Copies of this chain bind each other. A is one copy, B any other.
Amino acid sequence: MIMKKIHNILYGKETYEISIPKDVSELSAISNIQVVTCGFNSKGEQLRAPRVVRVGLFQHQHPVSTVTPIKETRDALFKLAREAIELAFKGGVNIFCFQEAWNMPFAFCTREKSPWCEYAESAEHGPTTLFLAELAKRYNMVIISPILERDDLHCETIWNTAVVIDNHGDYLGKHRKNHIPRVGDFNESTYYLEGNTGHPVFETDYGKIAINICYGRHHPLNWLGFGINGAEIVFNPSATVGKLSEPLWGIEARNAAIANGYFTCAINRVGTEIFPNEFTSGNGKPAHKDFGHFYGSSYVAAPNGSRSPGLSRTKNGLLIAELDLNLCRQVKDHWGFQMTQRLEMYADLLRSAIAPEFIPQVIRKRDIKQNKGCSGKTQ
């Protein structure tokens, strides 16, 4: 009883266990992918049937050495992806999402361009998209594939991009990471700049989804953008390491779910990636060859603030969560955050804040006294 109360305070309303066929656990053992499941409760409505979907969050270690040739690396990643997607299919997953830059080592710590830039591919018809399109069609599954994108249309520039493939195997669209870090070993702006695709929401057979890539989770405005455009589930494919961000991990995506009335799905890489050449981290410490530990811990948060258990900090894992998308509107109606958010006031504030001559609203005693001296009026 007391444990239940503590659980509710820390993690919100209880979730339920969802039924998964037996062969999922068999397959899970064979492929060495830990499976965790979780369902979120919602209320019945008179005019809408429940809109229940299952999402699959897949976190994985880079399966080969970082010096493995690119084609061989891709083969190993595709093999792993196929296993995870089959497992997800057997677990009833409708929308599947990989971690950030899932099809390569997370090499941005090195600041080396070669060979890492060679991993970049066309979002529309690169080998990863073509490979996943086939699986998406076969398994009737929407697949979100965060990759390093090569934009052949625009000077061959590189982007950090999430590709959305629909459950008919068709390319639906892409979103480019809006906020790019310059912190620790996250030297990503050496490779690509801030995304230019806005805050697209993808209307799929399984609901309206969006993708907030990695560092964008630190930006409440980025989350808000997807909310404004009507997202019901926002995926946050990430690659982040323990020392930097772990105390923030359980807070940010969950806060976004609460504030915006949608589900959030936070996915992190797992394991330690070691690179061939040493590099420094801008922290005064000696040169070294590894990025630090990607701590996994992927989880789902609901608009009412409840959250799922997390996946492991060290192992490959698939989190299967059952969501009734009707919960989004139910929570919005209950709390009223959207109704009371006063966007007009903030549109004005942001507009004035970006002006070079911006004067912050600061109340100082000396200003009050001066006003008194001049006109006899107080502020």
Partner-B contacts on A (CB < 8 A): 8-13, 124, 164, 166, 170, 172-173, 178-183, 194, 198-203, 208, 215, 218-221, 223-225, 228-230, 246-248, 250-252, 254-255, 258-259, 305-306, 334-337, 339-347, 349-351, 353-354, 360-365, 368, 378-379
Residue contact B247 to A12, C-beta cutoff 8 Å = yes
Residue contact A363 to B200, C-beta cutoff 8 Å = yes
Residue contact B181 to A363, C-beta cutoff 8 Å = no
* CA of A148 to CA of B194, assembled, Å: 45
In order of increasing CB-CB distance, the 10 nearest A-B pairs are A220-B220, A347-B350, A255-B255, A12-B247, A229-B360, A173-B363, A347-B351, A203-B364, A221-B346, A247-B305
Residue contact A361 to B200, C-beta cutoff 8 Å = yes
Given pairs A230-B360, A347-B350, 11 additional interface contacts (CB within 8 A): A9-B247, A172-B365, A173-B363, A183-B334, A183-B336, A228-B349, A247-B306, A251-B254, A251-B258, A255-B255, A343-B353
* CA of A351 to CA of B230, assembled, Å: 16
How many copies, total? 2
* CA of A229 to CA of B350, assembled, Å: 11
Cβ of A225: which chain B residues have Cβ within 8 Å of it?
A: 346, 349
Residue contact B218 to A335, C-beta cutoff 8 Å = yes
Cβ of A258: which chain B residues have Cβ within 8 Å of it?
A: 218, 248, 251-252
Known: A201-B360, A343-B353. A219 touches B166 (CB 8 A): no
* CA of A98 to CA of B158, assembled, Å: 52
Residue contact B220 to A224, C-beta cutoff 8 Å = yes
Chain B nearest CB: distance from A16 CB in Å?
Answer: 17
Q: Which of B179, B223, B351 contacts A342 (CB 8 A)?
A: B179
Chain B nearest CB: distance from A13 CB in Å?
Answer: 8
Cβ of A228: which chain B residues have Cβ within 8 Å of it?
A: 349-350, 353, 360
* CA of A225 to CA of B180, assembled, Å: 22
Cβ of A230: which chain B residues have Cβ within 8 Å of it?
A: 360, 362
Residue contact A173 to B351, C-beta cutoff 8 Å = no
Closest B residue, CB atoms, query A337: B218
Closest B residue, CB atoms, query A259: B220
Residue contact B247 to A11, C-beta cutoff 8 Å = yes
Chain B nearest CB: distance from A94 CB in Å?
Answer: 16
Cβ of A347: which chain B residues have Cβ within 8 Å of it?
A: 347, 350-351, 353-354
* CA of A221 to CA of B353, assembled, Å: 13
Q: Which of B170, B255, B335, B340 contacts A365 (CB 8 A)?
A: B170
Residue contact B259 to A219, C-beta cutoff 8 Å = yes
Cβ of A224: which chain B residues have Cβ within 8 Å of it?
A: 220-221, 346
Cβ of A341: which chain B residues have Cβ within 8 Å of it?
A: 179, 219, 221
Closest B residue, CB atoms, query A340: B179
* CA of A362 to CA of B336, assembled, Å: 23
* CA of A180 to CA of B342, assembled, Å: 11
10 contacts between A and B (CB under 8 A): A10-B247, A181-B340, A198-B349, A219-B337, A220-B259, A221-B221, A230-B362, A343-B353, A343-B354, A347-B347
* CA of A61 to CA of B252, assembled, Å: 31
Known: A180-B340, A340-B180, A347-B354. A248 touches B305 (CB 8 A): yes
